[in-house]
Structure 1
Amino acid sequence: MQVLLCPEPMDPEALLAVTPEELAQALLLRRQVLKEELPNVIRTLEAEEESLEPRVQRIVTSHRSTNDKVSELKKKRNSAQKEAGAILGVVKGARDSLAVSGKMVNLDPHWKKEKLLDELEQIEDSIQTSALDHRAEKKLLDRRKKLLEENDRWLKSRRESNPEMATFIDSRSKMNTLYRKADNAHRRMIEIVEKAQPMYEKKVVLTAELREIRRQLDRAKELLAQSDHAIAHWERRLKDGFGELGGGFPDLMAANIRVSKGGRSSFARNSKPKRGGAAPRGEEE
C-alpha cells in the first residue's frame, strides 16, 4: 500500500485518484510520527521557555521601574508648574501695583552690585590662583561670608522699608525656583525615556518571542494528548472501513457517494447565494 507522507503538489485528477486507504494510512503514519517526536519537541520548547522567561521577567520589571520613575518625576513637574503658575499671578499683581504707586525701585543699585561682585571676584581669584595656606584661605572664605551677610542685611532693610517690594521679590524668587524645579524634572524625564527606549524595544521582542514559544508548546501538548485517540481512530478505520461504524465513527464516504451519484458536494450544499442576487439557472426562484 502506498504511503503518503509529504506528497508533491497534486492536480485535481491525481488527488481524486487517492484511495481512502492511502489517505488513512498517511494520516495514521503522521500521527504515529508526531507521537514519537512530540516529546522531544516539547522538551526543547520547555527549555527555551525556561531560559527566556527570567530574561523577560527582568526586563519587564526594569521597564516597570523606569515607568514608575517617570511617573514620579511627572508628578513633581506638574506640581511645581501648578504652584509656580499660581504664584505668577501674585507676582504680576504686585508688579502692577508697585508700578502704579511709583514704588518699583531697584533693590540692588548698580554701585552696590558692582562693589559686591568686585570683592567676591577678587576673593575667588585669590583662592584659585594664589598659593595660600589653610589659614589664609580661611580668612578669605570668612571675608566672602561676611560680604554676603552684609548684602543680605542690606536687602532685608530695604524689604522692611518697602513691604510691597519685598512681597514682589520673594514671590518672584519662589516662582523661579519652582519653575527651575519643574524644568529639571522634565529634563530628567526625557533623559530616562531616551535611555529606556532600547530596553523597551528589546522587551517587545522578547515578550513576543516568549508568547510564540508558549503558543507552540501548548499546541504540541495538545497534539500529543490527542495522539493515542487519533492513532486508534485511523487504525480502526483501516481495519473496519470508512462507513458508519457507530460509537463516534460516522460514515466518511457519504459525501463521496452522493457526489458520485450526481449530487452536490457539501461545499456547494452549504454555500448560499448572495442576498438580492439572481437565482442560478435551472432552479426555481
Structure 2
Amino acid sequence: MTTTALGAVSANFGRDVEDNLDQIAAHVTDARSRGVALLAFPEACLGGYLSVLGSGRDGTHADAPEDLPPVMDVDGPELRRVAEIAGDMTVVVGFCESDGTERFNSAAVVSGQGVHGVHRKVHQPLGEGLYYAAGDGFAAIDTAVGRVGALICYDKAFPEAARALALDGAEIITCISAWPASRTASADDLAEDRWTHRFDLFDRARALENQVVWVASNQAGTFGRLRFVGSAKVVGPGGDVLAATGTTAGVAYADVDVAATLEGARRSMFHLGDRRPELYLEPVRV
C-alpha cells in the first residue's frame, strides 16, 4: 500500500502579503514534518479576499469593499517565494491574478519546480464579478502527487465544474475557499449555520458523484464584515469525511492510498464510466 499524505488548511489570511507568506511557510514546515505531499491553502491566501459581499443577482453591492486585494503575476515574486517554500511538496494557493488588463480570482498549483497550472474562478457569487473577470475553463494538472484539479469556492456549487475535472482525469480535486457564514438568519454557532451545512454538503456530494479524493480548504475567522466557516476537510470517493478541522482554524490531515481508494470505489459502480451523455439534454439558457 502506497499512501499519500494530504492536508487542507483552515486559517485567516488578510492583506499583509509578507505575513501570509510567513503563515504559508509555517504550515508547510509542519506539514513536511508529517510527510504531507499535497497541501491546499484557502482562497485569497496571498492577499486577502473582499471585505464585503453584496446581494449579487442584480450585480449590486450594498457596500463596497474598503480595499481590493493586491494584484500579482503568475511569474511574480510572491509565487516564486511560494515555490521556494514548497520544495518537494505540492501546494495550492489563492491569489488575485493580473494579466495586465483584467483581475482574476485564481488558484495556483505550485511546487519547487514552479507553477504547474492556474485555475481562474469561473462562478462568481454575490456581485464578485464587479471586481474580477471570470475564468473560462477547467483542466486537470499533472503533479508529483498525480493528476490534480483546482476549483475555487462557489465553483463547488456547480456539478459540471468538478465533473469536467474528473473527466479530464483528476484523481484529487482541491477546492480552495473564502466561504462565509450566512449574512441573513445566521447562527451564533458556526457549526449550525446554514452556509456551513451547504459547504459541507457540496464537499461530500462532489467527492461521491465523481469518485475522487476531495481536498477542501477555507478561510477562518473574520475579514471586514465577513465571518468564515472554516470546515477544511479531506473527503474520500465514497463521500466519507476522512479528516476535518471543524469551524475553527487548523489543518485537516489524512493519509490516502489514492490509486487503491479510487479503484475500490469504482470497482462495482463507476459513475464516470456509467454515464449516458448521449441522453442528457443540452444546457438551456435560463
TM (normalized to structure 1)? 0.17
Of Structure 1 and Structure 2, which has the larger fraction of its residues in helix? 1
* Structure of higher RCO (CA pairs closer than 8 Å, 6+ residues apart): 1
Bigger CA radius of gyration: 1
